[in-house]
Amino acid sequence: MPSGYFLSWQPGKTVAPEPPGFGWMLLPGQDLVLQTHLRPTGKPEELQAEIGLYFTEVPPTNIAMVFVLCSFNIDIPAGTDAYLVRDSFILPLEVDLLAVLPHTHYLGKRLEGIAELADGSTKPLISIPDWDFNWQGDYRYARPVHLPRGTTLRMQYSFDNSTANPRNPNQPPKEVRYGPQSTDEMAELWFQVRLQNTNELSALAEACNEHQAQTFEKYAHFRLEKNPRDAQARTELGFILWKHGQIASAVDAFRTAAADDPSFDQPHYYLGVISRTQKRLADAQTEFLTAIRLNPANSKAFGNLGFVYLALGNIDAAEANLAQALKLNPADDLARSTLQEIRQKRPHSPAQSKN
């Protein structure tokens, strides 16, 4: 979505005009993409969606950003009527809070967001004592709420998975975990803030990205506590470790994931990437070939294998694998440009004549 704006729609949401100077640019040639979340009925259905666009003569003059407090560590036992989910984030700079957007599904009960200032005082940001999934939307403050640097934003949501909840989709109640379906659960509190300049935007985005990485890491550990042989969770944890420079721990995680699920291609793909960056080309070749054997649609494995063969001087194999990567993913510009370079040097390439 255009950065800095709430453009989603949920049941019950009404039109919420932005203040002057908060329009977003729709440039010539751009596409508008509508993502819909639908529940199947068991038979073909027609969808006729409508979008209302409101135009303004006032150009964008403000810098806005949207970010979220959330937790994926949700596992609500059947019968529980006060299951708590929390998250927090420390602002690295001062902001003006313009609006908030809370979101859960049918088990959400009491939703609260507060700001805890550095002096220990608190500001309530939103409180919904009786959440209704069919009455959602973003809430805009009459006046922006100024939050100083060092303010801790806190989210606390309570969930009711008992028979006393008339909105509970499961009767009798059953265990509910995090997920995108309405019968799963989510816990999100979105914030729209105004910033002074693009440098502040970059600083806040960096802090939010780090917070998001920590959220994913907590979720990976949460899933592994539930199932120590969850290869996907182990792989996601390995990816996070790798991105934080903990290469040895990442390799151990990928190898464990590959052993726990021998049919899963992603651990081998990441092991191949690490081997390639370390110039261990034979090991990289083995891992990429394994990933492709397990998942012939893994375009990134084909592309990386192509570069391995290129480094090994096997131009024919490099060309073939890069061509397959591009076939699987026509948007792979690196594979495309490299193929062009190879074929320019080999004007009579058989692969070139086929394309």
**What average pLDDT does the segment 107-135 reach?**
96
In a shared domain, residues 296 and 329: yes
Q: At what angle do helices 247-260 and 231-243 cross, to 10 degrees?
A: 170
In a shared domain, residues 142 and 11: yes
Using DSSP, state whether 196 is helix, strand or coil. Answer: coil
Is residue 347 scored above 70 in pLDDT? no
pLDDT of amino acid 317? 97
pLDDT of amino acid 269? 98
Residue 105 lies in a domain: yes
Q: Which of 36-40, 42-46, 238-242, 269-273 has the lowest mean pLDDT?
A: 36-40
In a shared domain, residues 177 and 259: no
In a shared domain, residues 27 and 149: yes
Q: How confident is the model at residue 82 (pLDDT cuts 50, 70, 90)?
A: very high
Average pLDDT, the chain: 93
Residues 113 and 100 sit within 8 Å (Cβ to Cβ): yes
Task: Give the E-state strand segments of the chain in sequence order.
Answer: 63-70, 75-76, 83-90, 95-103, 108-116, 122-128, 139-147, 152-159, 176-177, 188-195
- Domains identified in the chain, total number: 2
pLDDT of amino acid 355? 45
Residue 146 lies in a domain: yes
Residues 37 and 10 sit within 8 Å (Cβ to Cβ): no
pLDDT of amino acid 77? 98
Where residue 18 sits, what CATH number does that domain have?
Answer: 2.60.120.230
Name the residue among 176, 187, 166 with its Cα closest to residue 68: 187
pLDDT of amino acid 348? 58
pLDDT of amino acid 24? 86
Q: How far apart are CA 178 and CA 26, in angstroms?
A: 34
**What average pLDDT does the segment 134-159 reach?**
95
Where residue 248 sits, what CATH number does that domain have?
Answer: 1.25.40.10
pLDDT of amino acid 1? 76
Residues 6+ apart with CB under 8 A from 230: 223, 224, 260
In a shared domain, residues 188 and 239: no
Query: Which tens digits make up the pLDDT trace of 162-208?
Result: 999 999 999 999 999 999 888 999 999 999 999 999 999 999 999 99
Residue 262 lies in a domain: yes
Residue 215 lies in a domain: no
**What average pLDDT does the segment 74-79 reach?**
98
Query: Which tens digits make up the pLDDT trace of 263-300?
Result: 999 999 999 999 999 999 999 999 999 999 999 999 99
Q: Phi and psi of 190, rounded to 5°?
A: -95, 145
Is residue 351 scored above 60 in pLDDT? no
CB atoms within 10 A of CB 221: 12
In a shared domain, residues 136 and 58: yes
pLDDT of amino acid 13? 83
In a shared domain, residues 169 and 270: no
In a shared domain, residues 196 and 247: no
Query: Which tens digits make up the pLDDT trace of 210-230?
Result: 999 999 999 999 999 999 999
pLDDT of amino acid 240? 94
In a shared domain, residues 192 and 267: no
Six token digits for residue 153: 């934003």
Q: What residue numbers bound the domain in which 161 lies?
A: 1-201
In a shared domain, residues 171 and 78: yes
In a shared domain, residues 191 and 232: no
Residue 68 lies in a domain: yes
In a shared domain, residues 242 and 166: no
Q: How confident is the model at residue 349 (pLDDT cuts 50, 70, 90)?
A: very low
Q: What is the largest CA-CA distance in the chain?
A: 74
Q: How confident is the model at residue 37 (pLDDT cuts 50, 70, 90)?
A: confident
